[in-house]
Amino acid sequence: MSRNVWIGLAAAVVIIVGVLFATGFWSADVKDAGELPEVNISAEPGRAPDVDMDSKKLEVGTEERTVEVPKVETEEKVIDVPVVGVSEGKKD
């Protein structure tokens, strides 16, 4: 895949995740912000943030309801309709 496709895909993922958080479909309760490792000659390990992630449950189904719908009926009739044809252009 080309570089532009990857960039577009990454942008789409970021937008979708942003919308899910902005609309409240996802929520995150960050309990501990975490910390980066100290960088010396010998690095000490860091730790990832402690996050409690909640997502809403999407329920899809059907339910029976009575609604008004139009009733359409057809019948056959004999009528004149336009026709198009091709001839040789010779007169009899």
pLDDT digits (tens, 9 = 90+) for 24-45: 888 878 888 888 887 666 656 7
pLDDT of residue 65: 94
Please check the confidence at residue 74 and state whether its pLDDT lies above 80.
yes
Residue 83 has pLDDT above 70, yes or no: yes
Evaluate if residue 1 carries a pLDDT over 70. Answer: no
Mean pLDDT in the chain?
Answer: 84
Q: Do residues 47 and 35 make contact, with C-beta atoms less than 8 angstroms apart?
A: yes
Whether this model's pTM surpasses 0.75? no
| Proportion of the chain above pLDDT 70, given as a percent | 87
Higher pLDDT, 49 or 76: 76
Q: Are 51 and 28 in contact (CB under 8 A)?
A: yes
Neighbours of 66 (CB within 10 A): 5
Q: Per residue, what are the HEC states of 29-79? A: EEEECCECCCCCCCCCCCECCEEEEEECCCCCCCCCCCCCCCCCCCCCCCC
Q: Which residues pair with 32 in a beta bridge?
A: 50
In this prediction, residue 24 carries a pLDDT of 82
